Chains A and B, each alone.
Chain A
Amino acid sequence: AQSVTQPDIHITVSEGASLELRCNYSYGATPYLFWYVQSPGQGLQLLLKYFSGDTLVQGIKGFEAEFKRSQSSFNLRKPSVHWSDAAEYFCAVVPSGAGSYQLTFGKGTKLSVIP
């Protein structure tokens, strides 16, 4: 069965510092990959996705992620964190070519930002 591992439960960074959130997946073939953000009082929002092609993908709010097949990883990065980025971040996968999006999510990483 496919699985998603987010090794960091909670990360704290200073505002303006860079950020990297880790995600590893276990699956027979390269799945479709996603990062979602969950802010307090709001629904999950898609930050970015990877289906194929360029392994560095750009998303909303200045986020990017890099797919590394050799490491089965899809880490999320941001060069300079803003206080409004404090939220919980979820990596998710779905089998490539799937006709629907029954996502398998990781347990999430909670991001705290120090002013």
Chain B
Amino acid sequence: GAGVSQTPSNKVTEKGKYVELRCDPISGHTALYWYRQSLGQGPEFLIYFQGTGAADDSGLPNDRFFAVRPEGSVSTLKIQRTERGDSAVYLCASSPTKNTGELFFGEGSRLTVL
């Protein structure tokens, strides 16, 4: 597709379950970012990939959160033992190698933990 694609668009799960959220960036974009947007807040940075490696994971809130990008394209955000406080919209963004400062965002995956 032409833009950043995120699946699922909505995910409802129970407390304690494991969740995976997928991001398919714009073709050729080497940088990939995950953000989390809670209700009434702006997006908060979670993790940044340059190629296959996590260049900065300082925003991950705890060790229940993990993200991978094994082939330098699609990324998966993994959340273990979900808690109600993990409920939010998870946004993925990508940008080209020669960055002009513009991030291209997907529509997000809305996670609800019951």
Contact = CB atoms under 8 A, between A and B. Distances in A.
On whether the two chains bind one another, the answer is: yes
Interface of A: 4, 32, 34, 36, 41-46, 49, 51, 90, 92, 94, 100-108
Contact of B4 (A4, A43, A108): A43
Interface residues of B, number: 28
Given A49-B102, A103-B103, 11 more contacts: A43-B107, A44-B43, A44-B91, A45-B105, A46-B101, A51-B101, A90-B43, A100-B50, A100-B56, A106-B42, A107-B40
B105 A104 contact: no
B103 to A, nearest CB: 6
A100 B55 CA distance: 9
Contacts of A49: 101-102
Contact of A102 (B4, B41, B59): B59
Nearest to A108: B42
Contacts, number: 61
A102 B108 contact: no
A53 B42 CA distance: 27
Given A43-B3, A43-B91, A44-B91, A103 B105 contact: no
Contacts of A90: 42-43
B66 interface: no
A102 B101 contact: no
